[in-house]
Homo-oligomer: A and B are copies of this chain.
Amino acid sequence: MATGRTHRPATRSRGIPEATVARLPLYLRALTALSERSVPTVSSEELAAAAGVNSAKLRKDFSYLGSYGTRGVGYDVEYLVYQISRELGLTQDWPVVIVGIGNLGAALANYGGFASRGFRVAALIDADPEMAGKQVAGIAVQHSDGLEKIIDENGVSIGVITTPPGVAQQVCDRLVAAGVTSILNFAPTVLSVPDGVDVRKVDLSIELQILAFHEQRKAGEEAEAQAGAAVQAAQENNRKGPDGDVPAVMPA
């Protein structure tokens, strides 16, 4: 997962497990697709396949929301879309500010997935005076001086940080002081926030590093398999030590 939770001591919110909450958007997306194709009902098996999860897990997840299915038939697509949307809080409008309009900030501003789910970009904010006034995704970028005012006037409770890492904590502090209680952090920094503020982190470089780890492991296993009889001489050179090295073999 390209995600990392921060500072949430396993608080079961209203009885719904964190792991289930994280999957609800997945189900919602699959259900929305079905809804657009006017499919009336769907079985747990079908929906699970569409969402890429196990059907037992899906049924258990839904059981936390209530008994919305009909045995022998399945789930009513429209009804389920509504229930999940309501549970996730997507039936209301969430104004969001994006701070730091570099490449990534601009990409997010243009990202269609936000607007379609009740998220509204209330403001784009950047510290560079050169950026102020420029249009990005049809919205004028505002200077960070007015950050507090913008948040207050728009009733913003969710902030997205796409600044360089060096200023992320300062920006975070200002957001929190101004009343933001949920932060999505794209800067590669550990943010410290007071209790009651949620931080979720998306770290592009971490994801790649995890992939690299598994990639290396695959290459290593492959090498071990190939090293059946041929390069056994290397094995004799086997000095014991803390590093359980695998022979340095490039993947391709």
Contacts and interface: CB of A to CB of B under 8 A. Distances in A.
A92 interface: yes
B24 A209 contact: yes
B2 A157 contact: no
A89 B213 contact: yes
Contact of A25 (B1, B86, B119, B209): B209
Given A157-B215, A213-B89, A25 B67 contact: no
A158 interface: yes
Contacts of A252: 155, 157, 179
Given A107-B102, A184-B207, A14 B217 contact: yes
Contact of A90 (B90, B102, B212, B243): B212
Given A103-B107, A181-B218, A88 B1 contact: no
Determine which residue in A29, A212, A244 has the highest number of CB atoms from chain B within 10 A of its CB, and name it: A212
* Copies, count: 2
A118 B205 CA distance: 11
Interface string A203-240: 11111111111111110100000000000000000000
A251 interface: yes
B206 A26 contact: yes
Nearest to A155: B252
A26 B192 CA distance: 15
Contacts of A203: 2, 25
Interface string A188-208: 101010001010111111111
Interface of A: 1-6, 13-14, 21-22, 24-26, 28-30, 50-52, 66-68, 83, 86-90, 92, 94, 96, 102-104, 106-108, 110-111, 113-114, 117-119, 155, 157-158, 160, 179, 181-184, 188, 190, 192, 196, 198, 200-218, 220, 242-244, 250-252
